[in-house]
Amino acid sequence: MGKTEGLNVSIVAAASQLWLKNYAEDDKLEDVAFARHKKNLFGFFTDYCNAISDHKVHRLFGKVKEMLGEPWTDIKELKLKEIRALQTIDWQVKIESCELIEKALIELA
């Protein structure tokens, strides 16, 4: 069993929220420790994003990176993954998919 098998969006969202609470909002945490924890979190994000194709996960990770002030190129890459994940078979005739793609494109601009 891989380390990302069995995870779903709600579990990943809860883990991200917990990480933000424990590390990003902790004023007492040293920069070196924060950088180490951030590297671990982003490593997990990368592994998980490479293992799945769920637009909600890509959106969540993009938001977290945006909150932490990551470079726009990293956020843009996740936005493009989000759009690609939404473009399933017959996506252009599904109103919800079109609206989500439009929203992602607006945020990308």
The 10s digit of each residue's pLDDT in 19-53 is 878 777 777 878 888 888 888 888 888 888 887 78
DSSP helix/strand/coil, 97: helix
Q: What is the mean pLDDT of residues 48-71?
A: 86
Average pLDDT for 72-82 = 91
Predicted pLDDT at 7: 63
The rounded Cα 75 to chain-centroid distance in angstroms is 9
Q: Is 52 helix (H, G, I), strand (E, B) or coil?
A: coil
What does the alpha-carbon distance between residue 64 and residue 92 come to, in Å, rounded to a whole number? 28
For residue 46, the SS3 value is helix
Please, which pLDDT band fits residue 1 given cuts at 50, 70 and 90? Answer: very low
How high does pLDDT run on average in the chain? 84
DSSP 89: T
Query: Looking at residue 18, what is its pLDDT?
Result: 84
